[in-house]
Amino acid sequence: MDKKRLLIITAIVAAILLIPLIAMQFTDEVNWNLGDFLIGGSLLFALSLLIDVVVRKIKQSPYRFIIIATILVVFILIWAELAVGIFGTPFAGD
């Protein structure tokens, strides 16, 4: 992976994480702590890297679409579980 691509991915993840940071300044509804930002950043960064690898390595479009869709579904399920606890695991949020 070249440095330019990694820098772009990092900048996009940082920009996405700015949304809750800015929202915390205007409302009490968003209440993230440092751990939330670290977990969210890690998940977003891993998601971005996985999608990048799939786009670069898988050349056949149908397989690429299915793999990326699967990665996105897993990401959304993990994010939702950490946020509100849809499965009731010990990692569930409040």
pLDDT one-digit tens code per residue, 57-92: 999 989 999 999 999 999 999 999 888 888 878 877
SS3 52: helix
User: Quick check: 93 pLDDT over 80?
Assistant: no
Residue 67 Cα to chain centre, angstroms: 16
Asked whether residue 79 is assigned to any structural domain, the reply reads yes
Asked whether residue 78 is assigned to any structural domain, the reply reads yes
pLDDT (0 to 100) of residue 1: 65
> In this structure, what token pair is assigned to residue 68?
């990326």
pTM over 0.85: yes
Asked whether residue 38 is assigned to any structural domain, the reply reads yes
pLDDT one-digit tens code per residue, 1-56: 689 999 999 999 999 999 999 999 999 999 999 999 999 999 999 999 999 999 99
Number of domains in the chain: 1
SS3 28: coil
Range(s) of the domain holding residue 71: 3-84
